[in-house]
Structure 1
Amino acid sequence: MNFVTMRGLLTRVVNRVLLSELFTPAMGIEAEMHTEGRRRMVVGLGNPGMESTRHSVGMAVLGALATRFSLADRWRGDKHVSGEVIVSEIEHTHVVLLRPRLLMNVNGVSVAKAARKYGIRPEDIMLVHDELDKPLGKIAVKHGGSARGHNGVRSCVDCLQTDVMPRLRVGIGRPVGQMSVERHVLSRFSSEERKVLDSVLAQSVDILLSQFLQQESQSPSSPAGGRQAAQKRKEREISDPPVKDSAAAQT
């Protein structure tokens, strides 16, 4: 068994332990929120205490979203979800913003606990995260499917036991020269990159808002992708051509 496989198995074990030990006390808390109508959740994946690094650009996007709507002073720690949350209404949509306070590889524990507490279905959870395979300045929306090597997304898929969650993938580019991937993702943006990043954060917020409006117009029972939708797609193949995975790039 190689190191990557062992690390993956260990992470899954840690996910299970954290969920079993920390998830149960949150059950039933704020249960009235389950009856307030359909909610959306936007999650900024990253590492606590390292918000300025490339790997935590998802958290930066959430910060920009909160600032856009004058919500930046409403972040509050919630021990029951192991994260910081804002509960508000944005563009006529009930939204929970979540910044997990767990390390990236086990972010899914926080996401699963918040989803249960606030009564949010996996298909209504938008994961915002960094993307190595896209250069800084490129942003893409992916509707479910594989984690594509991102450990934070993999943790969310493992803990929620589905991969239907849509993602906003914010490009950070790959390392150049002899720099390792680990060092690259944990490094800070340069002063020149910061100029590009400001525009990226603003555009990311615009895309999130457009997703809210788009989701409101869709059927509440039809996730766009992922394993839970696979069987329905297979059934349609008898009469319809196969549907390609939808990952719409935006610049």
Structure 2
Amino acid sequence: MEEPFGTLMSNEASVHTNSRRRLVVGLGNPGMNGSRHSVGMAVLQALAARLGEADSWRGDRHVSGEVILSDIQDTQIVLLRPRLLMNINGVSVAKAARKYSIQPENILLVHDELDKPLGKIAIKQGGSARGHNGVRSCVECLQTDVMPRLRVGIGRPRDQSSVERYVLGRFSQEEQKVLNAVLEQSVNILFSQLTDNQYVQSPQSPADGRPSSLTRTQKELSTSPQKNMTGQTQD
């Protein structure tokens, strides 16, 4: 890595507010775009396709990832796919935030969610990582947990497979049929978030300088319940 981990976001002055610029990050593992754990990258590819930029990804060593710059209405959108392992994705996110002068509250993380079935999507406005290593890395590197997140359900293994093996595995053919609709719906939600400017305002910093968590009730917006692979509707 080009810079020490601790200096990526040493203080809030490293990132300047740009009210018309948003960073959208697909969390995942490089070279594993088809795995459940990298579904965030699949969503970003679908978003890039909707923007007419599917083949516009370019590597940027300064952010340790691949980026696309595009526009939605009067907002510049920076799409980022980290080229680092999931548990250090935050290094790439912090570098991109600094390069493009984007505050953490204007960074939207897209990631897989074990505790939601495939077909269920929700927006979470900040808060803890809830055991997700990629989100935890982002919280540590940005030194705040205010980033809104699009949580894409992948469900949990139904057999004796380990969670690690399950999340690193690829979607089955049956799951892929559901996934296609999930990607389309996820892109619709992202467009709604980016055009309606539903990002939280920067909270007040406590005495130690670390931005606090959201003080208002954390808001989760879920899509309509869909049938899971057994045909039952779940939350």
Normalised by the length of structure 1, the TM-score is: 0.78
* Residue-pair matches, total: 213
- 1:249 counterpart letter in structure 2: S
Shift of the alpha carbon at 1:35?
A: 9.0
Q: Does 1:169 pair with 2:142?
A: no
1:79 aligns with 2:52: no
Question: Partner amino acid for 2:103?
Answer: R
Which residue in the other structure is 2:167 paired with?
185
Letter in 2 for 1:141: I
Q: For residue 222 of structure 2, what is the aligned residue in structure 1?
A: 249
Structure showing greater Rg:
1
Note the C-alpha offset of 1:228: 3.2
Contact 2:123–2:148 (CA<8 Å) still a contact in 1? yes
Separation in 2, partners of 1:74, 1:118: 18
Q: Is the 8 A contact 1:174 1:181 kept in 2?
A: yes
Pairwise mapping of residues 4-153 of structure 1 onto structure 2 (< 5 A)?
Answer: 17-18=4-5, 20=7, 38-153=20-135
- Which residue number in structure 2 is paired with residue 204 of structure 1? 186
Q: Are 2:38 and 2:112, in contact at CA under 8 Å, matched by a contact in 1?
A: yes
The answer to whether the 8 A contact 2:22-2:102 is kept is: yes
In the TM superposition, residue 214 of structure 1 has moved relative to its aligned partner by 2.2
Aligned partners of 1:91 and 1:209 also within 8 Å: no
Task: Measure how far apart 1:92 and its partner are.
Answer: 2.8
Confirm or deny: 8 A CA contact 1:38 1:120 kept in the other structure: no
Counterpart position of 1:11:
none
Letter in 2 for 1:86: I
What SS does the corresponding residue of 1:74 show, helix, strand or coil? coil
Residue in 1 that maps onto 2:211: 228
**1:244, 1:94 → 2: CA distance?**
29
Q: Secondary structure at the match of 1:170?
A: strand
Equivalent position SS for 1:73 = coil
| CA distance 1:35–1:134, change in 2 (3 Å) | closer
1:110-142 deviation per Cα after TM superposition (whole angstroms, max 9, x unaligned): 000000000000000000000000000000000
Shift of 1:19: 5.5
* Aligned residue identity for 1:228: P
Q: 1:36 to 1:181 in 2, by over 3 A?
A: closer
The Cα shift of 1:107 comes to 0.1
Identity %: 67
Which SS does the other structure have where 1:228 is aligned? coil
Measure, in 2, the Cα distance between the counterparts of 1:178 and 1:230: 37
TM-score, normalised via structure 2 length: 0.83
- CA gap of 1:230–1:129, structure 2 versus 1, over 3 A, is closer
Contact residue 127 and residue 168 of structure 1 kept, 8 A: yes
Query: CA offsets per residue over residues 192-216 of structure 1, 9 Å max, x none?
Result: 1101000000000000000012217
Question: Aligned partners of 1:79, 1:222: CA distance in 2, in Å?
Answer: 29
CA shift in 2, pair 1:196/1:208, >3 Å: same
What is the aligned counterpart of 1:156 among 119, 124, 138?
138
Distance apart, 1:37 and its partner CA: 5.5
How far does residue 72 in structure 1 lie from its aligned partner after superposition? 1.1
For residues 163 and 37 of structure 1, do their structure 2 counterparts lie closer, same or farther at Cα, with a shift above 3 Å needed?
A: closer
Task: State the match for 2:230 in structure 1.
Answer: none
Aligned CA RMSD, in angstroms, stands at 2.5
